[in-house]
Structure 1
Amino acid sequence: MKTRVLSAFCLSFLLSASLYAQEPLTPDMTKQIDKIAAMIKDNPDAAEDAFDELLKGKNKKNVSLLVAIGKAYLDNGKMDAAKEYAERARKVDSKNGESYVLQGDIALSVKDVGTACGYYEQAILFDEDCYDAYYKYANAYIGVNPQLSVNMLLKLKEKHPTEIRVDRELANAYYQMGSYGKAKQVFDEYMQKGNPDVQDYSRYSMLLYLNKDYAQSLDMVNKGLAMEADNHLLKRLKMYDLYETKAYTEGIQASDVFFADPNNPDYVYMDYLYRGRLYAANNEVDKAMVEFDKAMKADEKSEHPEIAKEASEAQQKAQNYPEAIRFYQLYLDGMKDKAEVTDLFMFGRLYYMAAGAMTPTPGDSTTNQSVAAVDTIQRKAYLMEADTIFAQVAERVPDNYLGNFWRARTNAMLDPETTMGLAKPYYEKALAILEQNPKASKNVLIECESYLGYYYFLKEEYEQSKVYWEKILAIDPENPTAKQAMEGLKP
C-alpha cells in the first residue's frame, strides 16, 4: 500500500499525549509541502526557507508537520535533513509515534531492517493504533523473516478484526512464507469484502493456481485482465490455467498472446514448458519439442530435469521411442542420485515398448532383408537393455514382483517360441512373490502361470504343466485357455 495512504490512516488514528495540539495536516498544508518538496533537489535553499516559513507560530511544534517535512527530505535523498526533522519531532513529543515511524523509514532506506523495525515497534508502543508502523514493520520483514510480518499483522488484526486491509497484507505475508493455504483463506475474505485492484487479482490468481484451484484462478485472471489487458503475470497464468483445465486450443491461443513479443526478457522456463504441454496435449508434437527445448535452455542451471521427462512422454505418446529414450536418459542424468526406482522401471519399459514397436507383423511381406536384419539387431539391443534395467529394479526392491515380472516379459519376447525357456526363472520368481500377497492381481498371476504351464507342456512334463493350469482354474474357473489345456492333458 502506498506510503501516503498509510500515513494518512496513521495520522487519522493518532491519540497524542502531547500538551500541544496535533491536528492532522489539512489538504491545503499537504499541497504546500508537496510544492516545496519539488524544489528540494534543484533549489534546496529556497525549499529550506519555505519550510521554515511553514513552521512559524503554532506550527513550530506541530509533530505531523515536522514529520511530513522530514519525509519530503527523505524522499529526495537528503538523509541528514530527514534525521534533523525526525529528531525535532521527537523532542517536541517523545511519545508521539510519528517521529519513530520516520526514523524507521530513514533506517530502512539504508536497508538496516533491524533498526528500522525497532523504531516501528517504539511507534506502536506509544500509539497502538498507528497503522503505518504495523504495516511498515510487516513489509520490512516480509523478505527477511515473513513469520515476524505475520505476527505483527495478527496483532493488528486482533485489535481491529474488521479492518479488511490487514487481510490483504496478511495474505501477502503468508504467501511469502509459502503457506499458500493460509494465504488463500485470508485473501478469500479480502477479495469478497475489499476493493481489489489488478495487483490483488494477480496475487489471488497465483494463490489459487498454487492451490490447484485452476478454474477459480482462471476466473480471477479474466477479471484482472478486464482491468489491465496487458498484465504480464495474468497473461502467463491464463495460459497455465487453460492447460490445467484441459482447454488446450484456448490455451494455445493464450500462449500466442503471451509470447507475442519474442524478445521479452521476463519469460521463464515454466512458460515454455506450459506451451510445450499445450502443444503435446493437442497432438502437435513437433511444436511441443521446440518449446521443451526452449524450456531446457531457459533452465540454465539444469535444476529441472523433469522438463526432459515431459519431452520423453510426448515422444512416447507419438511412438517415437528412440527420442523418448534419449530424453528419458537426459532426465535420469539430471536426477543423478535422486532418481527413484520407479524412474528406473519406467526407463526399462521404454526400451521394452521400443522393441515391441519393432516386432514383425505376422505375414509381413518386407523384401528388404538388410533393413529387416538391422531392425532385428536393434530390437534385440532394446530388449537386452530392458532386461539389464529390470534386473536392477529387482535387485533394488527384491520384495516387489515388478522387476522379475518385466524381466520375464522381456525374455519371453527374446524367446518368442519358448524354445529356450528364457523367461521361466523370472516368471517363477515373480509368482513366488505374488502368491504371498492375497491382493495380488489375478491377471498377473494368470500370466505367470500360463507361461509356466505352457513351458512344461512343451517339455512334455504334463503333470507339472497341470499344476499351473489348475492354479489358473482356481482363480478363474471359466478361463478358456486353462480349460482347453486341461482337456488336452486328459489321458
Structure 2
Amino acid sequence: MKIVSQTSVLTLGAVAMTTIASAQKLTDAQKAIQAEQYQKAKTMLKSMTAADPGKDENYFYLGWVYLLQDYPDSAKAVFTKGITANNKSALNYVGLGQIARSENNNSAAMQNFDQAATYAGKSDQPYIYTAKAYLMKPSPNVDMALSTLEKAAKWGAKDAEYYITLGDAYHAKLDNTKAYGSYSTAQNLDPKSPEIDVAIGSLWKQANNFEGAIEELNKAIALDPNYGPAYRELAETSLRWAQSDPKVASEKVKQGAAFYKKYLDLTDRSPESQMRYADFLIESGDYKTLEQVANELAKSDKSNLRIYRYLGYAAYENKNYPAGLEAINKFITEAAPKRIIARDYLYLGRLQFKNNQDSLGILNLTKAAEMDSTMADAYAEIGTMLYGQKKYAAAGDAYEKYIAKSHHGKLNDYFRVGMSYYYGYSDQYFDYLNKKTTVPPDSSLLAKGDSAFSYVQQKTASRPVADVFLYRARLNDLKENDRSNMKAYAKPFYEQFVALKGNTNPTDERTKKNLGEAYAYLGTYNELIAKDDSKAEEDFQKALAASPDNREAKAYFARKENKTAKK
C-alpha cells in the first residue's frame, strides 16, 4: 500500500485550487469579452499573463480583445508572446493567422491556420476561432468559416460556442433558416446564455421582423439585465426600424439613442465603446451629438486618429467646413491606408467642394463611388457640382452614372440628365456659331438628352409635365441644320406644351414667357413653312398676349407693318 504524506496531500490540493482559480479567472475574462466589456477583460488578462507567464491561453484571449478593438499591432505582439510561452499554442497561431489576413497576406494566414490545426488535437476551440477570424470585417470569407467548422465537427466536438459560430456564419451568408437552426441547437445546449438570444434577435432584425427581434432581445435582458450587447442590438434594431418606416422614425431614433447610452454604461464607457456609439450616431444622422462625442474623445486621447474621422463628418454636417476639412485631412493623411473607407473620401470630397477645391472634391467623390457601390449617390453630388459650374455635359455624364450605378434613379434624375445635355449642347452650338471655337458641337449630347426627356414623358403620360415638352422642343429645335429650310423637329412638342398651358390663364411670368416662346415658334412655322399667313398672325398675336416683350412676335408685326406701308 502506497502511503501519501500529509504534506503531499496539501501540496496537491494547493495546485488543484490554483488551477481551479486560474480557470475561473479565465472564464470571467471570457464572459467580459462576450459582454463587450473590453477594458475589464484586458485588465483581468494582463494581470493573469503577469501572474502566470507560461499560460499561453491567457495571451490568446488578451490578443483577441485587441483584435476586436481593432489594434492589430498590439494583438500581434501578444500572440507572439503566447507562442513563446508555448510553441505549440494552437490558439495563438489562429491569432497570427487573422493578423496576416488583416494584412492581406493570405499565404501566411493559411500557414498559421494550418499550424493551429496541427496542434489542435481534439479541441474544437482553434477551429471555432479560425472560423470567427474568417468572419471578421472588413474581408469576411463565409465559405472558409463553414469549411473550418466542418473540420471541428469531425472530432465530435459540438458545444454551444460551436453552434453559435456556425449560426453566425450562416447569418453572414444570409441563410437565416440554417442560422436559426444552429442558434436553436446552441440554446438547447446552453439555455442561460444571453448571447444566443441576442444572435437570434439580430437575425430577426436583418429580416425586418422588428417585433420578433425585440422579443428575443428582451429575453436576453431577462437572463442578464447587465448584458450590454442586448442594449446595443436594441439600439440598432430601433435605428433600422426608423429607417424602414418614416411614421415611427423620430420615436425609434430616440429609443435607439437611449438604448445605446445604456450599452455604454454597461461596457465601461471605453473609447472603443464610445467610437461604436459614434458609428451609431452617423447611421442615425445625429451629427450634433456626434460632434460632442468626438470632442470628448479628443480630450482624452488625441492620438486616436479615428476621432478625426468623426470630427470631419460632424463638421461637414454642421456646416463648419474649414474645421471639417482640416480634421478629415489629418485622418486620411496619417491613418494607415487600409483604415481608409469609401465614406472618408466621400466626406473629403464634399468638404473640398465646400472649401472651393472643386476639382479635388470631384476626384474624391468619384473615388468613394468607385470604392463602394453603395456610395453611388456621390455621382449625383458630382452632377450637381458640375451643373453649378456650368460644366453641363460632364454633369450629364455624372447623372447618368448615378442612375446606372444606384439602380434607384427617379424621374427628376432623368430630367436632370436631359437638362444637362441640352445645356451642354446649347453652349457648344452657340460657341461654334459665334466662332468662339472651331470644334463643332457634339450631336450625341442631343440624342442622350432627348432620350432622357422621352423617358420622363413616357413615365408621366397619365399626368403630363409641361416642362418636359418645353425642353424637348428646345432640344429638338437645336437639331435644325438650316433655318431657312426648317424640318420643324420641335413643332409637336411646342404644340403639346401649348395644349397643357395655353388655356390656364397663367399668372407667373415664367409660364407667360414660355407660352410666348411656343406660340412664336408655331407662328414662324406657319409663316415660313406652312405659308399660312392667317394662322401665323393668330399665333404671333397669342405670343404677344402671353409675353408682350417676345422679340419674334414683335419682329413679325414690324415686318407686316412695313409691307403694308410699302403698298
Give TM-score scaled by structure 1 length: 0.62
* Structure 2 Cα separation of the partners of residues 196 and 380 of structure 1: 62
Contact persistence 2:429–2:441 (CA under 8 A): no
* Alignment equivalent of 1:169, drawn from 206, 230, 233: 230
Write out aligned runs for 1:357-396 (5 A): 357-358=427-428, 360=430, 372-374=437-439, 377-378=440-441, 382-383=445-446, 385-396=448-459
What is the Cα deviation at residue 139 of structure 1? 4.2
**Corresponding residue number in structure 2 for 1:270:** 343
| Residues 1:150 and 2:217 aligned together | no
1:288 corresponds to which residue?
Answer: 361
The offset of 1:284, in angstroms, is 1.0
**Cα drift, residue 327 of structure 1:** 3.4
Q: Structure 2: where are the runs of 5+ without partners? A: 1-25, 33-46, 59-90, 93-119, 126-158, 168-181, 243-248, 528-532
Tell whether the 8 Å contact from 1:156 to 1:166 is kept in structure 2 after alignment.
yes
Deviates more, 1:275-284 or 1:138-147: 138-147
CA distance in 2, matches of 1:81, 1:258: 40
Change (3 A) 1:183 1:36: farther
Report if aligned partners of 2:392, 2:420 keep a CA contact under 8 Å in 1: yes
Assess if the C-alpha contact under 8 Å between 1:214 and 1:244 holds in 2.
yes
- Residue 352 of structure 1 corresponds to 422
Structure 1 residue 444: Cα displacement: 4.9
Q: What residue is the counterpart of 2:466 in the other structure? A: 401
| Aligned counterparts of 2:48 and 2:369: Cα–Cα separation in 1 | 56
1:291 is displaced (CA, Å) by: 1.6
What is the CA–CA distance in structure 2 between the aligned matches of 1:33 and 1:200, rounded to whole Å? 24
Counterpart contact for 2:198–2:233, Cα < 8 Å? no
Check whether the contact 1:248–1:281 (CA below 8 A) recurs between aligned residues. Answer: yes
Q: Could you say which residue in structure 1 is the equivalent of 2:541?
A: 466
RMSD in angstroms over aligned alpha carbons? 4.9
User: Is residue 222 of structure 1 aligned with residue 295 of structure 2?
Assistant: yes
Equivalent residue letter for 1:308: Y
**Aligned counterpart for 2:380 among listed residues 297, 301, 309:** 309
1:428 aligns with 2:452: no
The partner residue of 1:451 within 517, 524, 532 is 517
Residues 1:331 and 2:402 aligned together: yes
Q: 2:511 corresponds to which letter in structure 1?
A: L
- How does 1:26-425 map onto structure 2 within 5 Å? 39=55, 104=160, 108=164, 113-121=183-191, 123=192, 133-134=193-194, 136-141=195-200, 144-146=203-205, 150-155=214-219, 165=226, 169-175=230-236, 178-179=240-241, 182=252, 184-188=254-258, 191=261, 194=265, 196-231=269-304, 233-261=306-334, 263-299=336-372, 302=373, 304-335=375-406, 338-358=408-428, 360=430, 372-374=437-439, 377-378=440-441, 382-383=445-446, 385-398=448-461, 399-413=464-478, 420=486, 422-425=489-492
Query: Unaligned stretches of 5+ in structure 1?
Result: 9-30, 43-74, 83-102, 124-132, 474-478
Seen in structure 2, the aligned counterparts of structure 1 residues 158 and 422 have a Cα distance that, compared at 3 Å, is same
Q: Per chain length, whose mean CA-contact separation is higher, i.e. which structure has more relative contact order (CA < 8 Å, sep 6+)?
A: 1
Distance in 2 separating the partners of 1:448 and 1:416: 23
Distance 1:179 1:139 in 2: 17
SS in 1 for 2:333: coil
Query: 1:172 Cα shift?
Result: 2.8
Which is richer in helix? 2
Identity %: 18
Q: Larger Rg: 1 or 2? A: 1
SS of corresponding position for 1:229: coil
In 1: Cα distance, 2:549 partner to 2:356 partner = 39
**Shift, 1:253, TM fit:** 0.7
In structure 2, distance between residues paired with 1:441 and 1:166: 65
